Amino acid sequence: MNRDQHGSAPQGEDEKLLHSMGYAQELSRRMSGFSNFAISFSIICILAGGITAFPAGISAGGGASIGIGWPVGALFASIVAAAMAQIASAYPTAGGLYHWSSILGGKGLGWVTAWINLLGLIFVVASVNFGVYDPFFKTLIAPLLGINPDHLTWTEQTLFLAGITLSQAWLNHLGIKLTTRLTDMSGYLIFAIALLLTVSLLAYAPGPLDFSRLFTFTNFSGVDGGTWPKTDSSLMLFLSGLLLTVYTLTGYDASAHTSEETHQAAHNVPKGIIRSVLWSALFGYILICTFVLVLPNMQAGVKAGMGFFDLLLSSLPPALKALLGIGIFLVNYLCGLACLTSTSRMMYAFARDGGLPFSHQLKQVHPVHRTPGLAIWVSAILAIVATLYGDAFTVLSAGSAVFLYISYILPTTAGLFAEGKSWTHKGPFSLGAASKPIALLATIGGAILAFVGVQPPNEKVLYLTIALLVVLLFFWFVLGVRKQFKGPPVGERIQKHQAHIREIENALDKTA
């Protein structure tokens, strides 16, 4: 049974809150506040996006794309995160963004949000695991194993990606308790390895540090090995450089997707969203600024493309380089693990309301492990299929960022118009009078970040986005999905949910 229509009364305030929204507690609620933060922090993973997307930053406006561009992009991301956190506090359910859009903007908007968010999450799993292989396995691990990276073909790449993705699915299948332990460990590892990498690069820097690099704008568009085609527009170059921030500071919706597995979700989920972005923004900035400062030559770094990281590590002692290589490889693997957790929960939640083909099967929860087993394995298989495309990383990384940010701003915009009307009561985390201004800024900022992701040479992402929207509209209006799809419980049940929130808050006030 999925919607708790005639089951026994749930236990605990989290379960009561979920019950008031029309759902039974099926998943295992084992995650602490730190674990909820850690899963988003692990997906953001500055040692994944911060490294693999770094060439997109410096090959736009040089050091200024890092020193100035990262704080600007991080500010946008933080505003979007704050707006999402407020809605997550009011409606802490798995599949978060889909539910928020449905409740605040109608089931049609929710259905579109669900598909865009789900595709973005599948692309995230695929792009992160692609990054685990290239550059991290090929550059750092393969030489340690005596493997010549030049001899690795598409076949080895496909087998590797399939192997690690299926292993992540198996770990997820075994239960949230194991997954939580691994993502908790990942959170600590990211802090530790990022600190070790930063200190090591500074300690073995080949020459004096030139901090003016961080604020010097240099047009590297059109340079061999660079990401961006030749342009004379400084504004477009600066915006293009934001792709580094967009790709890195994304995926924090994982805190919302694991709401039904988190204790005190209405309190801990918004904290997880905001803290994961703020800590990643801070440590990520320190890390990538270090990259700029210790590069022997900026133009050589641009021409090297993804080879820039090997240039950075070349000054380190072999033993230290090997230690860092193993650590970075491990945290990137755990990043993919967390991504798959988030994707499977989104798929489970959408299927629970009948939004997917074979929804009845995809919404099933394993009776022992209490995980959405089939949703996990289907998510993994779809991610593997996505990596079969030859130009995978460029399209997958840009596509994941674009789709996720579109899915972030849809419920945020819906909340902007619903606040004070259909949305009259918020959760424990509220932005107060700043709510609407932040929602407006989040919509504008999210739209800018999504716009960045479809600029040449990533125009394939634009074509894919347009094609997806056309297909969705065709299914919704022409094939009659709007008549068949009921969406999540809304109306009377949501009113009961809001009344129940007030009861909980009043009880807490009396206790205090």
For 80-110, the pLDDT digits (tens) are: 999 999 999 999 999 889 999 999 999 999 9
Q: What is the mean pLDDT of the segment spanning 225-241?
A: 89
Residue 16 located in a structural domain:
no
In whole angstroms, give the CA distance from residue 95 to residue 68: 34
In whole angstroms, give the CA distance from residue 439 to residue 417: 10
Which pLDDT does position 511 carry in this prediction? 60
**Given a cut of 60, is residue 74 above it in pLDDT?**
yes
Which pLDDT does position 509 carry in this prediction? 63
Residue 496 located in a structural domain:
no
**Given a cut of 60, is residue 462 above it in pLDDT?**
yes
Query: Rounded to two decimals, what is the model's pTM?
Result: 0.89
Total domains present in the chain = 1
Dihedral sign, CA of 414, 416, 417, 419?
positive
**Given a cut of 70, is residue 508 above it in pLDDT?**
no
What's the mean pLDDT when you consider all of the chain? 89
Which pLDDT does position 494 carry in this prediction? 54
412 exposure class (CB count in 10 Å sphere: 0-12, 13-18, 19+)? buried
Residue 36 located in a structural domain:
yes
Provide the CA 257 distance to its chain's centre, in angstroms. Answer: 11
**Given a cut of 50, is residue 492 above it in pLDDT?**
no
For 367-401, the pLDDT digits (tens) are: 888 999 999 999 999 999 998 875 566 777 888 88
**Given a cut of 60, is residue 326 above it in pLDDT?**
yes
For 260-309, the pLDDT digits (tens) are: 999 999 999 999 999 999 999 999 999 999 999 999 889 999 999 888 99
More confident residue, 390 or 453: 453
In whole angstroms, give the CA distance from residue 440 to residue 291: 34
For 201-226, the pLDDT digits (tens) are: 999 998 889 999 999 999 999 888 88
Q: What is the mean pLDDT of the segment spanning 343-371?
A: 93
- Report in angstroms the alpha-carbon separations of 464 from 208, 243, 396, 461: 45, 18, 11, 5
Residue 277 located in a structural domain:
yes
Kindly give the residue spans of alpha helices, DSSP state H, lying in 32-153. Answer: 33-44, 50-52, 54-61, 64-67, 69-90, 96-105, 107-131, 142-144
Residue 22 located in a structural domain:
no
Residue 7 located in a structural domain:
no
The domain of 423 spans 30-487
In whole angstroms, give the CA distance from residue 173 to residue 186: 18
**Given a cut of 60, is residue 8 above it in pLDDT?**
no
Residue 338 located in a structural domain:
yes
The CATH number of whichever domain residue 471 belongs to comes to: 1.20.1740.10
**Given a cut of 80, is residue 9 above it in pLDDT?**
no
